[in-house]
């Protein structure tokens, strides 16, 4: 990962963390962005995994247009979208609420056959302190395992499902009335999807761990006890502080992250304050194994 500020005629990419994260300035996303700007943002994402563009003034039309330019908007299952905007969800915690959305390490929608490549999150309101988001670099998580465990994981597949989180009778069904983010539990969430434990990133081809504690249920073909043992270790290792970058939001910041090589976690440390975001997903492809 480059630590140098990279400036083109059109945009500046300033690395913000040693393991992930960069600020991109010089682009106004409220205007239709040309191919050079979109390519510059995509390049920054491939290099830094998460990018933040401060001081954007966006309508929902702008957000949708930008999402399309990045690769096409996709739906987010099991969260009710904004009225008339089937691809945009609102993530909201009101001052009286105690629970927030995404307060656990995860990779967005890994339970789908073709999970989103990128997630786009735009900040409408943020607490004066707290409410940061943290990302962990999953290339690093893989590289820093022993050769023996890397070799084992390269031969494994894992079963993903949204059931325990979004299924009827699942965790969020039990607490949905305490959250302003509109959760829509469904029996369909229990559907299972198998993905390689280590994927080859669809654009960089680099190997990345693709196991996360919210959606990865077990190693395919292993008993629950065996699986829990290995996954417990890998889940802890994957989010080692050394692999992380933490963003402090401000109103108007838009962040984009690459779900093919990161996990993320939304902190819940701002009780009594309001935080409001809107989110879209960019279409992705079926993850491919790092070992063909």
Residues that bind ligand SIN (CB under 6 A): 91, 101-102, 119, 121, 133, 264, 266, 277, 279
CB 170 → ligand SIN: shortest distance, Å? 17
Q: Judged by CB, which is closer to ligand SIN: 24, or 179? A: 179
Per-residue b or e along 65-97, where b marks 16 or more CB atoms closer than 10 Å to that residue's CB: bbbebbbebbbbbbbebeeebebbbbbbbeeeb
Joined tokens for residue 230: 């290995």
Residue 141: which residues within 8 A CB-CB, separation 6 or more? 208, 209, 237, 238, 239, 240, 243
Terminus-to-terminus CA distance in the chain, angstroms? Answer: 25
Q: Judged by CB, which is closer to ligand SIN: 24, or 123? A: 123
Nearest residue to 24 via CA among 286, 254, 287: 254
CB 262 → ligand SIN: shortest distance, Å? 11
Joined tokens for residue 257: 């992250």
**What's the Cα-to-Cα distance from 65 to each of 45, 68, 117, 124, rounded to whole Å?**
18, 5, 16, 18
CB 291 → ligand SIN: shortest distance, Å? 29
Residue nearest to ligand SIN (CB): 102
Q: Judged by CB, which is closer to ligand SIN: 66, or 227? A: 66
Q: Judged by CB, which is closer to ligand SIN: 195, or 264? A: 264
Q: Judged by CB, which is closer to ligand SIN: 91, or 197? A: 91
Query: Looking up tokens 């900040």, which residue turns up?
Result: 123
Interatomic CA distance for residues 256 and 138, integer angstroms = 16
CB 61 → ligand SIN: shortest distance, Å? 21
CB 248 → ligand SIN: shortest distance, Å? 11
Q: Judged by CB, which is closer to ligand SIN: 145, or 254? A: 254
Q: Judged by CB, which is closer to ligand SIN: 122, or 142? A: 122
DSSP state of 105: -
CB 82 → ligand SIN: shortest distance, Å? 15
Interatomic CA distance for residues 190 and 282, integer angstroms = 23
| Cross-strand pairs, 158 | 195, 219
CB 235 → ligand SIN: shortest distance, Å? 17
How many residues comprise the chain? 292
């Amino acid at each position: 990962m480059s630590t140098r500020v990279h400036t083109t005629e059109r945009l500046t990419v300033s690395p913000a963390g040693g393991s992930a994260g960069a600020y991109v300035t010089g682009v106004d996303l409220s205007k239709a962005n040309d191919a050079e700007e979109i390519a510059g943002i995509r390049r920054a994402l491939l290099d830094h995994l998460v990018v933040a563009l401060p001081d954007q003034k966006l309508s929902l039309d702008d957000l949708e247009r930008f999402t399309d330019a990045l690769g096409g908007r996709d739906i987010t299952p099991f969260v009710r979208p904004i009225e008339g905007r089937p691809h945009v969800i609102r993530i909201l915690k009101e001052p009286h609420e105690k629970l927030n959305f995404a307060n656990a390490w995860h990779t967005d929608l890994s339970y789908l056959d073709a999970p989103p490549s990128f997630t786009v999150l735009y900040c409408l309101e943020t607490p004066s302190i707290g409410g940061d988001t943290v990302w962990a670099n999953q290339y690093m998580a893989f590289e820093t395992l022993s050769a023996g465990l890397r070799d084992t994981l390269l031969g494994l597949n894992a079963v993903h499902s949204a059931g325990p989180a979004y299924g009827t009778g699942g965790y969020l069904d039990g607490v949905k009335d305490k959250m302003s983010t509109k959760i829509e539990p469904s029996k369909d969430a229990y559907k299972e999807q198998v993905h390689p434990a280590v994927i080859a990133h669809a654009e960089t081809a680099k190997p990345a761990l693709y196991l996360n504690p919210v959606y990865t249920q077990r190693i395919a073909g292993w008993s629950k006890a065996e699986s829990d043992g290995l996954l417990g270790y890998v889940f802890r290792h994957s989010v080692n502080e050394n692999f992380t970058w933490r963003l402090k939001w401000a109103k108007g910041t838009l962040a984009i992250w690459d779900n093919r090589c990161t996990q993320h976690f939304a902190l819940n440390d701002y009780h009594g304050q309001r935080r409001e975001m809107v989110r879209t997903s960019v279409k992705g492809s079926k993850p491919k194994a790092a070992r063909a």
